[in-house]
Amino acid sequence: DGGITQSPKYLFRKEGQNVTLSCEQNLNHDAMYWYRQDPGQGLRLIYYSQIVNDFQKGDIAEGYSVSREKKESFPLTVTSAQKNPTAFYLCASSIAVTSTDTQYFGPGTRLTVL
C-alpha cells in the first residue's frame, strides 16, 4: 500500500526544546516537501527537496531544519529558534519538482508547544 506516513499524529513539547517530525514515503518519489498550516491560513512552504542530499528553503524556513539522507525520508526539525511552532505540519511528495507533478500529502502532525 503506497503512501506517505507522518508520525506521530499529535506531538507536545515544552518551549525551548527541539523536536523532529517524521515523514516517510514509499511512492518512489524524488521530491518531498514540508508545509505548515495555521488556522484560517493556506499551506505555507517550509522546505523542499528535489533529490537525496539536496534541499531548498521555502517561504518560512527560519527556525526549521531538514535532512534528506534517504529517498524515502525527509524529517523536519522544529528548533527552539522558531517563534511560533504550534501548528499543523504537512509533508508531501511528488515524482519530481515540476509545476505539473501533483503533490501527495501525508496525514499531518499537530505540534503543540506548551
Partner 1 sequence: DQQVKQNSPSLSVQEGRISILNCDYTNSMFDYFLWYKKYPAEGPTFLISISSIKDKNEDGRFTVFLNKSAKHLSLHIVPSQPGDSAVYFCAPGGRGSTLGRLYFGRGTQLTVWP
The contact set with partner 1 (CB under 8 A) reads: 4, 6, 31, 35, 40-45, 48, 50, 58, 88, 90, 92, 96-108, 110
Q: How far is CA 68 from CA 23, 39, 41, 89, 106, in A?
A: 11, 29, 27, 17, 17
Give the whole-angstrom CA distance, residue 26 versus residue 40.
31
Q: Which is nearer to partner 1, 44 or 79 (CB)?
A: 44
CB of 34 to partner 1, least distance (A): 12
What minimum distance in Å lies between the beta carbon of 43 and partner 1?
4
Residue with cell 528535489: 50
Pick the closer one to partner 1 by CB: 50 or 79. 50
Nearer to partner 1 among residue 45 and residue 79 (C-beta): 45
Q: What's the min distance (Å) between Cβ of 103 and partner 1?
A: 6
State how far Cα 51 lies from the chain centre: 15
